[in-house]
Amino acid sequence: MSIIVLPYLGGAAASRELKRTAAGLQPEYIQDRAVSRRDPMAGLKMRLTYRTVRVLMVVAKSPGANNREIAERSDISDQGQISKLMSRLARLELVENLGEGQEKGMANEWRLTALGAQLEQATRPR
């Protein structure tokens, strides 16, 4: 509910929604569950978008894929966008480039880091 409230009522209202307990559940149960679950987004300074999740899924399925392959498989048509997104994910240490890359005129070879794999698994549809 906090995601829905945020654009209309602002951050304070969204924060209040996050603190509310679910109907019919004991607050202790919710707190215990929250403590026992590890949040893969904790500490990351990024907003998780549909496009980001798609790219992480593609890299998980195709380790060693280059920018063009990742863009095609995740339906991103602009090469500039995929380059910026991959650079941002690399700075966040979610992916790593094991290829020669731009410096030597070779293609990038992207793989998920341990943190990237954890985040990709957490966002996988169940």
In the chain, the domains with their CATH numbers are 2-36 (no CATH), 50-123 (1.10.10.10)
Tens of pLDDT, residue by residue over 100-121, are 766 667 788 999 999 899 888 8
Cβ proximity of 25 and 16 under 8 Å: no
Say what the pLDDT of residue 26 is. 45
Cβ proximity of 112 and 92 under 8 Å: no
Tens of pLDDT, residue by residue over 3-19, are 787 777 888 887 888 78
Question: Taking the model in full, what pTM does it have?
Answer: 0.64
Angle (nearest 5°) at CA 36 between 118 and 12: 85
Alpha-carbon span 110 to 119, nearest angstrom: 16
